[in-house]
């Protein structure tokens, strides 16, 4: 084991100070403002806008597709856009603690370079020209740290001191974003190890939910979600191994987070157009197939109403019968189901194979090495596991190979059972379910320390299915009341149910996930867009 030359506490403190020093003096908030923010329940909207001028607010109010259009038409410069988002991100971090890496000067220089190219050639570099894109602190950007929440990775390359690598590597997807014209300006917070549904580590501490500071921002891509809620970003990249993008697979995957459904399409399709599988052999060689998305979109009008020929057929998964969703989530599901029905689409009950199997197998894979890799990274600095992970990832003997093989087979069998069930949904009317509406978690943004059940996302990771998450409503203490006569299904369900407090959750964002089958990203995105159109139209508002 390496002996750290500096205490982990001192190294973390130095990192926090170095990061804060990168915020320009004119963007720094006073102690009075910081105290005001700490006492504020909701930091979004008018609260953060008080620190932004009218021109900055006008830029920040634009969605990603509009931003690239304005820059392409010469109505906005890449530099002005970059400055607005850098300032918003700087303020966001000061009031919400959501950034790990700040490289605003690098971003402004990049934007100036793009503006010079546009002035000289009269055209844009690529489809993302001038678009600020934030990144979870799991991606390498030259000139900057990538800590992934580990103190031992500060000023290193994943713990290595190799001078050929430290601060000299771009992740492949970073190279592609730059080639497409994006402007990268910050990296966002995540939990130590990534394997936690809240965002807390020993470097910067905890990131809370800016919509409601009584609650967590989720994880492991929680910093991305928090920054976007504050409009310090309109699109960014996260990663997912058990719900990390959705709560903001066998392998971890990259996902796009955006403040609009069209932002996801813009960035995802643009990246896929670069044929990333030719540079990374781990990727599946499937481009973005616009015809698949168009086929689904053609089944409804601009308001999401069914055209009548082939309405969507969506499953509804109310509960996994292990942990019942709390009242705000249950109402969100009902609202979506009622709206989709009123728009002329089909809804059927979804009763798949038991998700407890998937959760058990998925968690076993995550812990298969007995925590060896996690403790290897911790030992670089001597930092401890955060308290929330100490029971789950205490160092143990790794799984024997035969046991691992058995789990792999069990996981494959579960995939086959789930697929067979999905195919059986055509028995009644000849139409297979297109996608399934289900909870992301049994609660809205969770109270810190009370995330008890992850099967709603873990099962989908094990299946390697395609997912999009959309916002639906917000928790409302006047109508989201717990049933006093509810009888919990088990101890975990009881803990989750009793953790619900209408006053604390009031105003918390409520979202749902829409799940399609493997390699159906275009289809699930299109269905997500249709459901979003239905909800935004207002004409299908539910009474529940």
Q: Which of 313, 293, 228, 344 is nearest to 524 (CA)?
A: 293
Flag whether 152 is in a domain: yes
Flag whether 426 is in a domain: yes
The answer to whether residues 140 and 250 belong to one domain is yes
The answer to whether residues 205 and 347 belong to one domain is no
- Give dist(CA 230, CA 336) in Å, integer: 25
Cβ-Cβ contacts under 8 Å for 184 (sequence gap 6 or more)? 103, 106, 107, 110, 132, 133, 134, 135, 141, 174, 177, 178
Catalytic site includes residue 428: no
Q: Does 243 belong to an annotated binding site?
A: yes
Has residue 516 got a pLDDT over 80? yes
Q: Does 236 belong to an annotated binding site?
A: no
Examine the fold and report which residue of 251, 278, 305 is the final residue of a domain before the chain moves on.
Answer: 278
The answer to whether residues 159 and 199 belong to one domain is yes
Mean predicted confidence (pLDDT) in 121-133:
99
Mean predicted confidence (pLDDT) in 198-217:
98
Examine the fold and report which residue of 278, 311, 345 is the final residue of a domain before the chain moves on.
Answer: 278
Cβ-Cβ contacts under 8 Å for 273 (sequence gap 6 or more)? 127, 287, 288
Has residue 425 got a pLDDT over 50? yes
Flag whether 264 is in a domain: yes
Strand partners, 101: 187
Flag whether 471 is in a domain: yes
Flag whether 114 is in a domain: yes
Cβ-Cβ contacts under 8 Å for 75 (sequence gap 6 or more)? none
Q: Is the pTM above the cut of 0.85?
A: yes
CA 220: distance to chain centroid? 8
Identify the active-site residue in 11, 15, 87, 136.
136
- Give dist(CA 247, CA 222) in Å, integer: 8
Instruction: Give the model confidence (pLDDT) of 318-359 as tens digits.
Output: 999 999 999 999 999 999 999 999 999 999 999 999 999 999
Mean predicted confidence (pLDDT) in 244-257:
60
Instruction: Give the model confidence (pLDDT) of 77-114 as tens digits.
Output: 999 999 999 999 999 999 999 999 999 999 999 999 99
The answer to whether residues 144 and 231 belong to one domain is yes
State the burial class of residue 397 (Cβ atoms within 10 Å of its Cβ: 0-12, 13-18, 19+). Answer: exposed
Mean predicted confidence (pLDDT) in 128-146:
99
Tokens found for residue 448: 């810190």
Catalytic site includes residue 105: no
Identify the active-site residue in 134, 189, 244, 306.
244
pLDDT at 20: 97
The answer to whether residues 248 and 299 belong to one domain is no
Has residue 543 got a pLDDT over 70? no
What is the pLDDT confidence band of residue 538, given thresholds at 50, 70 and 90? confident
Least confident of 198-202, 249-253, 313-317, 332-336: 249-253
The answer to whether residues 212 and 151 belong to one domain is yes
Phi, psi of 200, rounded to the nearest 5 degrees: -155, 135
Catalytic site includes residue 381: no
Residue whose token pair is 């290193």: 156
pLDDT at 464: 94
- Give dist(CA 512, CA 457) in Å, integer: 11
Mean predicted confidence (pLDDT) in 290-319:
97
Q: Please give the residue range of the domain that contains residue 476.
A: 295-358+399-537
- Give dist(CA 457, CA 156) in Å, integer: 33
Q: Does 242 belong to an annotated binding site?
A: yes
Q: What percent of the chain has pLDDT over 90?
A: 94
- Give dist(CA 56, CA 27) in Å, integer: 13
Flag whether 391 is in a domain: no
- Give dist(CA 530, CA 181) in Å, integer: 29
Average pLDDT over all residues of the chain: 95
Identify the active-site residue in 220, 221, 381, 466.
220
In the chain, the number of structural domains is 2
Has residue 4 got a pLDDT over 60? no
The answer to whether residues 190 and 309 belong to one domain is no
The answer to whether residues 232 and 312 belong to one domain is no
The answer to whether residues 245 and 319 belong to one domain is no
Flag whether 544 is in a domain: no
The answer to whether residues 215 and 154 belong to one domain is yes
pLDDT at 242: 54
pLDDT at 539: 57
The answer to whether residues 235 and 300 belong to one domain is no
Cβ-Cβ contacts under 8 Å for 482 (sequence gap 6 or more)? 326, 327, 497, 500, 502
Examine the fold and report which residue of 249, 278, 307 is the final residue of a domain before the chain moves on.
Answer: 278
Residue whose token pair is 């919990």: 488
Alpha helices in 238-298 (DSSP H): 261-272, 290-297
Phi, psi of 208, rounded to the nearest 5 degrees: -95, 175
pLDDT at 240: 78
What's the CATH number where 148 sits?
3.90.1300.10
Instruction: Give the model confidence (pLDDT) of 7-44 as tens digits.
Output: 999 999 999 999 999 999 999 999 999 999 999 999 99
Flag whether 192 is in a domain: yes
Q: Does 241 belong to an annotated binding site?
A: yes
The conformation of residue 386, written as its DSSP 8-state character, comes to P
CB of 186 closer than 8 Å to CB of 88: no
Has residue 459 got a pLDDT over 60? yes
The answer to whether residues 272 and 305 belong to one domain is no
């Amino acid at each position: 084991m390496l002996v750290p030359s500096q205490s982990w506490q001192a190294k973390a403190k130095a990192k926090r100070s170095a990061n804060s020093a990168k915020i320009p003096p004119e963007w720094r908030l006073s102690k009075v403002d910081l105290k005001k923010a700490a006492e504020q329940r909701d930091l979004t909207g008018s609260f953060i806008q008080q620190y932004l001028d009218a021109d900055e607010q006008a830029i920040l109010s634009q969605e990603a597709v509009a931003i690239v259009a304005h820059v392409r038409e010469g109505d906005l410069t890449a530099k002005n856009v970059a400055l607005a988002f850098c300032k918003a991100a700087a303020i966001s971090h000061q009031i919400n603690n959501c950034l790990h890496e700040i490289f605003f000067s690098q971003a402004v220089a990049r934007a100036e370079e793009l503006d010079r190219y546009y002035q000289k050639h009269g055209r844009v570099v690529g489809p993302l020209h001038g678009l600020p894109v934030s990144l979870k602190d799991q991606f390498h950007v030259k000139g900057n740290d990538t800590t992934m929440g580990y103190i031992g990775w500060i000023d290193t390359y994943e713990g290595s001191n190799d001078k050929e690598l430290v601060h000299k590597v771009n992740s492949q997807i970073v190279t592609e974003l730059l080639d497409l014209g994006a402007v990268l300006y910050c990296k966002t917070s995540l939990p130590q190890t990534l394997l936690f549904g809240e965002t807390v580590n020993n470097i910067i501490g905890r990131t809370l939910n800016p919509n409601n500071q009584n609650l967590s921002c989720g994880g492991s891509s929680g910093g991305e979600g928090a920054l976007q809620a504050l409009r310090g970003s309109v699109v960014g990249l996260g990663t997912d191994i058990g719900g990390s993008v959705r709560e903001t697979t066998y392998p971890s995957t990259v996902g796009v987070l955006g403040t609009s459904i069209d932002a996801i399409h813009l960035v995802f399709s643009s990246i896929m157009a670069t044929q990333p599988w030719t540079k990374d052999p781990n990727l599946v060689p499937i481009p973005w197939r616009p015809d698949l998305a168009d086929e689904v979109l053609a089944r409804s009008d601009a308001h999401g109403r069914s055209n009548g020929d082939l309405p969507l057929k969506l499953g509804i998964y109310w509960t996994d019968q292990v942990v019942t969703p709390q009242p705000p989530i249950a109402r969100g599901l009902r609202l979506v189901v009622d709206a989709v029905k009123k728009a002329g689409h089909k809804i059927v009950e979804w009763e798949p194979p038991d998700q407890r199997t998937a959760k058990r197998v998925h968690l076993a894979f995550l812990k298969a090495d007995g925590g060896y890799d996690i403790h290897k990274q911790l030992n670089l600095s001597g930092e401890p596991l955060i308290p929330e992970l100490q029971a789950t990832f205490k160092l143990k003997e790794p799984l024997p190979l035969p046991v691992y093989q058995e789990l792999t087979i069990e996981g494959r069998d579960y995939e086959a059972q789930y697929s067979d069930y999905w195919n059986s949904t055509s028995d009644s009317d000849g139409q297979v379910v297109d996608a399934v509406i289900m909870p992301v978690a049994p609660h809205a943004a969770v109270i810190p320390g009370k995330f008890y059940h992850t099967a709603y996302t873990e099962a989908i990771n094990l299946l390697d299915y395609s997912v999009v998450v959309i916002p639906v409503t917000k928790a409302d203490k006047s109508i989201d009341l717990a049933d006093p006569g509810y009888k919990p299904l088990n101890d975990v369900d009881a803990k989750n149910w009793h953790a619900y407090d209408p006053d604390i959750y009031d105003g918390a964002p409520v979202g749902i996930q829409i799940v399609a089958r493997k390699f159906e990203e275009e289809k699930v995105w299109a269905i997500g867009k249709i459901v979003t159109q239905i909800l935004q139209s207002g004409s299908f508002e539910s009474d529940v």
